Amino acid sequence: MIGYVTLGTNDIDRAAKFFDELLGSIGASRFMEDDRFIAWAVTPGAPSVCVIKPFDEKPATVGNGVMVALAMDSREKVDALYNKAIELGAQDEGAPGPRGSDNFYAGYFRDPDGNKFNAFFMG
């Protein structure tokens, strides 16, 4: 159902470096880009994450209550992606662990522009 998520950035080069490494660690790569945006996906037809310099040329801001959730297929992969994000300069928003039940395991972080993410595993 979700095709892609677009997040604003105030520094496209910094965002590119962060997401090249972070999303590259889970098999995603750039599949579309120009001087204003970059999109990453595991395959071009799969849901993707994009960063963009806002078209209105105003500063990018973080949406209060907005979060991008990245599905992983194991708790170990949640841990690995969360740790990679922190290593790359992301801000901790909640270390990996069970949330609410043993069936939902997630770690939360913010990218260098302040956008909130979680890596999660259901099962």
Mean pLDDT of 6-23: 97
Q: What's the CA gap between 26 and 28, in Å, rounded?
A: 6
The residue assigned the tokens 């522009």 is 113
Distance CA 51, CA 49 (A): 7
Mean pLDDT of the 23-48 span: 96
- Which pLDDT band holds residue 101 (cuts at 50, 70, 90)? confident
Looking only at the bridges linking them, the beta strands covering 101-110 and 68-71 are unpaired
Beta bridge partners of residue 118, listed in sequence order:
69, 108
Confidence at residue 108, expressed as pLDDT on a 0 to 100 scale: 98
pLDDT above 80: residue 1? no
Q: Which CATH architecture has domain 4-55+68-122?
A: Roll (3.10)
pLDDT in tens, 36-68: 999 999 998 899 999 999 999 999 999 988 999
